[in-house]
Amino acid sequence: MVSASSYLVPIASCLLAPSAIISLAIAAPTALTCGVKGWDKAGSTPAFLAIVNATSASPAPCKALCTENKCGSFAVGNGTCLLYVADVATQLNPQNASTYTYYDAGCTV
């Protein structure tokens, strides 16, 4: 007969500390930046695509182009839709006087 103790395997070395489990489980969502006027931040990567077309230069059609091109953010203004790799927080120098309005790709427009 085999005793139950022969099947017990210490697993304490395989467990994470409770603080490690908590830090892995709690990840704050990234806040979206939507509808902020401004210009490209100095030193930021320029738009990878600029569509000069009145139809595309409003938020909803520009967002559709952004989704299609897997961009991180987009801006509309002056009859232009601009698509960026980076999110707005990385890209934007906020300026209320700007004619361009920036949105993260995940914004509802």
Query: What are the tens digits of pLDDT across the range 23-72?
Result: 445 555 679 999 999 999 999 999 999 999 989 999 999 999 999 999 99
pLDDT at 7: 42
Domain membership flag for residue 13: no
Whether residue 48 lies inside any domain: the answer is yes
Cα 94 from chain centroid (whole Å): 18
- pLDDT of 77 higher than 90: yes
Token reading at 19: 């603080």
- Which domain, by its residues, includes 56? 29-104
Letter string b/e over residues 32-67, b meaning 16 or more CB atoms within 10 A of that residue's CB: ebbebbbbbeeeeeebeeebeeeebbebebbbebbe
Mean pLDDT over 11-19 rounds to: 46
Residue 72 placed within a domain = yes
Does residue 101 register a pLDDT over 80?
yes
Task: Tell me the two tokens of residue 62.
Answer: 């520009």
> Structurally, how many domains does the chain consist of?
1
Asked if residues 102 and 88 have their Cβ atoms less than 8 Å apart, the reply is yes
18 located within any domain = no
22 inside domain: no
The answer to whether position 1 is within a domain reads no
Residue 50 resides in a domain: yes
pTM of the shown model:
0.72
